[in-house]
Amino acid sequence: MDLNLKGKVAVVTGASRGIGRAIAESLAGEGCHLVLCARGQAELDETCRELGSRGTSVFGMVMDITRPDAGKLLADKALQEFGHIDIFVGSAGGNKRGNFADTTDADWQEIIELNLKAHLNTSRAVLPAMRQQKSGSILFITSIFGREAGGKGLSIYNTTKSALISAAKIMAIELAEDGIRVNTVAPGSIRFPGSSWDNRCKSDPEGMKSFVASNIPLGRFGKAEEVADVVAFLSSDRASWISGACVPVDGVQSKSLI
C-alpha cells in the first residue's frame, strides 16, 4: 500500500531514540521531510545524520518540549524550511513510579507537564498552519496504561496518559471541521536497545521471561518499528476516516474492551 506521504512535512517530538526515532525513520522511509526534537544533542545529531544519509530532508532542534515556546519554535522551523506542516507526532514522554502516598506535588507537576501539557502546547502551535491548508494529522503516543489500570506505582503515569487520550478525543471532534484528524497510539511493552525493558531483560532474564509469558499473549516484547508503522499509516490519508481513535499496539497485552 502506498501511503502517499512523499513530500509531506512531519514534526516529531522525542525523536532521538526509541519509539520516536522509529517513527521518524518510518515517516522518512515514506518520503516525509522532518523536523525532530529532543533535549540531548548527541543522540539527536546522530539520528538526523543517519536519516540525512538516506536522503531525508531533516532538521533537529535541541529543546525541552515543556518550555512554553517549544511548539512555536517547532512550527516556525517547519514552516521556514518546508512551507507547510502535515503531520505532528508527540512521542516524548516519561514516568515517575511510586506508590501514590509517597508521590509529591512536584512529581505530579513534572510528569503532567511532560506527558500532557507539553503535547497540548506543541500540537496547538501547528494548528494555524493545518487549519489554513484544511488538512493535517496530529498523533500522540500514549500507553495501554492510559486505556486501563497499569497497577501499583503508576498513578502519575496512568493519569497523564488517560488525560492525553481524553484530550485527543475532544480535539478530534473540534478539529474535524478543519480537516484535521487527531489520534493516539497506545503501545504495550516495547523493547529496543537501551530501553528500560531491555535493561530489565538483561538484569533479570528469568523474571522478564515469566512477565512476557503471563502478560503478553503474542509471546514477546513489541518493537519500536511496530509502533512506528501504525503511526505512519494513521498519519496518512489512507486513514482518512480514522480520527479520535486510540489504537493499541501491544501483542494483546491490554485487556480493555474499548
CB atoms within 10 A of CB 214: 8
| Sole binder of ligand NAP in the list 11, 12, 24, 38 (CB under 6 A) | 38
The answer to the question of residue 238 lying near ligand NAP (CB under 6 A) is: no
Which is closer to ligand NAP, CB of 178 or CB of 211? 211
Interface with ligand NAP includes 27 (CB under 6 A)? Answer: no
Per the listing, cell 471541521 goes with: 177
> Which region among 53-61, 86-94, 122-130, 229-237 touches ligand NAP (by CB under 6 A)?
86-94
Task: Compute how many residues bind ligand NAP; rule: CB under 6 A.
Answer: 28
Backbone angles phi, psi at 211, to 5 degrees: -60, -45
Interface pick for ligand NAP out of 26, 189, 236, 253 (rule CB under 6 A): 189
Binding flag, residue 147, ligand NAP (CB under 6 A): no
DSSP 8-class letter at 232? H
Q: Cα dist. 84→6, 51, 183, 206 in Å?
A: 13, 20, 20, 49
Taking each helix axis from N to C end, the angle separating 18-29 and 41-53, rounded to the nearest 10 degrees, works out to 20
Q: In a 3-state reduction of DSSP, which class is residue 73?
A: helix
Options 31, 39, 148, 198; binder of ligand NAP; rule CB under 6 A: 39
Residue 19 sits in the site that holds ligand NAP (CB under 6 A): yes
Stretch that binds ligand NAP, among 2-10, 122-130, 190-198, 199-207 (CB under 6 A): 190-198
CA 170 – CA 176 distance, rounded (Å): 10
Q: What is the nearest approach in angstroms of ligand NAP to the Cβ of residue 2? A: 27
Shortest Cβ 7–ligand NAP spacing (Å): 25
Interface with ligand NAP includes 37 (CB under 6 A)? Answer: yes
* Closer residue to ligand NAP in complex, CB, 83/194: 194
Q: Is residue 77 a contact residue for ligand NAP (CB under 6 A)?
A: no
**Residue 132 bears catalytic tag:** no
Sheet holding 9-13, edge to edge: 58-62, 33-38, 9-13, 87-90, 136-141, 180-187, 246-249
Residue 61 near ligand NAP by CB under 6 A: no
Count CB neighbours of 57 within 10 A: 16
The count of other CB atoms within 10 Å of the CB of residue 194 is 10
- Considering the candidates 157, 175, 234, 250, report the single residue annotated as catalytic: 157
Q: Indicate the residue among 5 and 74 with the shorter CB distance to ligand NAP.
A: 74
Asked if residues 168 and 162 have their Cβ atoms less than 8 Å apart, the reply is no
| SS3 category, 182 | strand
Residues 193, 225 contacting (CB under 8 angstroms): no
Q: Which residues bind ligand NAP (CB under 6 A)?
A: 13-20, 37-40, 43, 64-66, 91-94, 114, 141, 143, 187, 189-190, 195, 197
Active centre residues (catalytic): 157
